[in-house]
Structure 1
């Protein structure tokens, strides 16, 4: 009863905070979201989606925007409230993912959910900015949730839906490669990713949309920005090149990110297979070895990718660490003694970068390179935790000295 009261009170306060932000209009609202909303409404709602050339988002978000146009609610409030609903969904999946770790301490999953709900970046992203990053991140968390419960088809379908909403969902896609190579997910389950993505294109096709623009929407997005960083706390805060000469650095950054993903994937798969081999040997010797990729390992790998990929890729916005913001809380509650400070590092870096955009008249409390250093420290922290998790496979005597936290 007390927990329920605390949960309801937390949700009420979280909604109140966001209500206080409803009146604020960002430049993204003026230049993108509001014109899209007005165009859709002027063209008859869903019928406007027969030609998607007016927007550079994929159609699933435009479906939601079209649906909002039928409600007797001001445009700005409607779009922000949509994102706020997904903030609540983020808290829900956070609770579901953390709960199995603390079956006899129900206040800890609740604390994790409340923490996510009040993260400065989460509050600002929806309540002030009217952005949709909570939407694709909800589906990523849903995919992780189903993955932890050995529902591979559901997991891949959620990942595909996340990708349909935002290209930035690909930051976590290396996790799918890890779980497939480790045998946690069968290869055929990956078919659910394109199936979910393409299924969400069908309504637009039925409304008359041209298939080619639908399938190439993300290819067009990737060429929109040429700057090495757009306020992102990434490695490019330490790189300076003359204007117009960013091309070679951009290509090198993409290559470096790809190589890092492959290296990290290979290291994780190798460690898991060694764990399995050690467990089999211990079982044959009468021991009780445990094998396979643990839930903690999955969350750590997800967090590593969510930080490392946007940290190395060029042309990232400050908002592109949104999934890392949320996942840092999940792993902190999974391994509180090791990672309690990880969300602090990520928020100092990520929200500090937000301030550069949302409050341009006020200098960030740290320089942008300093925000990059903080994110680098966060990456090193979670990499060390992952190394301990996967490196603890072989305990004394060849056992699988996996820590108690690795459930």
Structure 2
């Protein structure tokens, strides 16, 4: 049995009698192949078995039946209660049988993911082309819409984005991560408190609660055929919630028309779409937490901001990247009360989240979990198209020497330098509204120049760039939002559709990596310029939404007391 990050030998069984592929079990025999790509989901959660799903083009065998799923040499058969897999004819929700699939009448043929590659690429080309045209001709005073039907237009956009995702999700088989999430959901549903003792998972505890609910619902006869949709649903909802948060914040700063435009930008962004709906990953939920954390921090709600930050770290280890933003603001305030609120919020949240999983565990079990997860991929780049990938370091051992030091050492040096630069800019700006820009610099800098980065770690950058625009009112952040959306999409698309392997230095890798480096350099210039101003430029909105509720409590996105929000010329 392999440890975390190890690939199972041929014929090893992963899963249990309840864990097959994502979809409905069928009684018919079938044969399929499955090629898995990169991911930060590594460990199988039902038998203590771990798989290295981050290895590009790792071929697996799945034998679906009463014995679960078997990893082997790209050959699979199902018997008893096997699960439909890629290449089978399936209807919506992963069901076998007839349906209007891509393969003509009776269902789909071939790999469902590759069948949608061309339409997705065309949609992305149209989206980014429209973005460039609109951004180039952008003039705030020209964006005016009538006062009537504002709510109807907003909910039409959000509803269209939601139902489009829900309509597409059943037909996309997704990444192997969905199978791992399904197994973890079933394990959690069997015994939440015994999740880590009964199985093996490298995911921190928070998202296991979400999988527990999905496992309970998906174990019923009515919903079991739609397990793949249920697994995607939290992140599809997170896409919509994040878009709504951006709209609410924008409506108080830039007016209705631009606010609606930003909501459309996020809801139909191909980089967002491919992650939650096609891949089936959880970065959308994570990004929703980070956006909420930044907004609450700017509103001076330190305690609640710390709660969301702690939840983010307890969901994904890379949440710690955003910790310096909270630290910078606490230092800026120079008061003891915010520190007490932050420490109290972090401690209470951590205890509440980990307590149900702690029975029968070692006292430092959570620390051991994080240490194992962080050290699981000792490579310069794990399919992240960044500086190390640009110079040929994708899947190169991070102990390899690059000039004077190893890749890992250079990565740590860059993390320190990026953090110090961000701190300098935060102090220079002297305003909490700089938090979004600081978070953007941290994630973009760490992703671009640190080691062991995965392809999806840059995902929050698109939303953070929009936040930075709303708080600092510099149009260049909109260009950065579009630029990062493009590189996030290209990186995710290339890995999801298996066009890259460890040894391949392709054109998409080269171009995307170079773009990420150039975007970070441009971001540094923009942040430097914005930090020069000691006051925030904000134009008042005409929205009939008061900045304060009758109770005196701030509404979402309203500035905290004592914060300068006047327009200075």
Taking structure 2 as the reference length, what is the TM-score of the superposition? 0.61
Structure-to-structure mapping, 1:176-195, within 5 angstroms? 176-183=326-333, 186-191=338-343, 192-195=345-348
Structure-to-structure mapping, 1:38-77, within 5 angstroms? 38-41=186-189, 44-49=190-195, 51=197, 53-71=199-217, 72=220, 73=223, 74-77=226-229
What is the DSSP-based 3-state SS (H/G/I as helix, E as strand, rest coil) of the residue aligned with 1:70? helix
Counterpart position of 1:13: 160
Deviation at 1:376, TM superposition (A): 2.0
CA gap of 1:184–1:135, structure 2 versus 1, over 3 A, is: farther
* Structure 1 residue ranges without an equivalent (≥5): 273-291, 394-399
Deviation at 1:233, TM superposition (A): 2.4
Greater displacement, 84-93 / 150-159: 84-93
Counterpart position of 2:299: 149
CA gap of 1:343–1:366, structure 2 versus 1, over 3 A, is: farther
Deviation at 1:193, TM superposition (A): 2.6
TM-superposition CA deviations, 1:199-247 (whole Å, max 9, x none): 21012225x5554333322211111112211221211123336987531
Contact 2:443 2:458 in 1 (8 A): yes
What is the DSSP-based 3-state SS (H/G/I as helix, E as strand, rest coil) of the residue aligned with 1:360? coil
Deviation at 1:159, TM superposition (A): 0.8
* Structure 2 residue ranges without an equivalent (≥5): 1-147, 400-405, 540-563
CA gap of 1:67–1:82, structure 2 versus 1, over 3 A, is: same
CA gap of 1:231–1:360, structure 2 versus 1, over 3 A, is: same
Task: Identify which of 400, 406, 423 aligns with 1:265.
Answer: 423
More helix by share: 1
Task: Identify which of 163, 172, 181 aligns with 1:33.
Answer: 181
Counterpart position of 1:80: 232
Deviation at 1:45, TM superposition (A): 4.5
Counterpart position of 1:368: 509
Greater displacement, 168-177 / 239-248: 239-248
What is the root-mean-square deviation in Å for CA atoms of aligned residues? 2.7
Contact 1:37 1:75 in 2 (8 A): no
What is the DSSP-based 3-state SS (H/G/I as helix, E as strand, rest coil) of the residue aligned with 2:460? helix
Is residue 124 of structure 1 aligned with residue 286 of structure 2? no
Partners of 2:484 and 2:395 in 1: CA distance? 30
Deviation at 1:38, TM superposition (A): 3.7
Which structure has more RCO (C-alpha within 8 Å, separation ≥ 6)?
1
Counterpart position of 1:321: 458
Partners of 1:216 and 1:245 in 2: CA distance? 22
Is residue 22 of structure 1 aligned with residue 170 of structure 2? yes
Task: Identify which of 407, 430, 441 aligns with 1:304.
Answer: 441
Partners of 1:57 and 1:180 in 2: CA distance? 29
Counterpart position of 1:112: 262
Partners of 1:196 and 1:47 in 2: CA distance? 17
Task: Identify which of 380, 383, 388 aligns with 1:231.
Answer: 383
CA gap of 1:177–1:387, structure 2 versus 1, over 3 A, is: same
Q: Which has the larger radius of gyration?
A: 2
Counterpart position of 1:282: none
CA gap of 1:373–1:243, structure 2 versus 1, over 3 A, is: closer
Counterpart position of 2:524: 383
Structure-to-structure mapping, 1:237-252, within 5 angstroms? 237-240=389-392, 245-247=397-399, 248-252=406-410
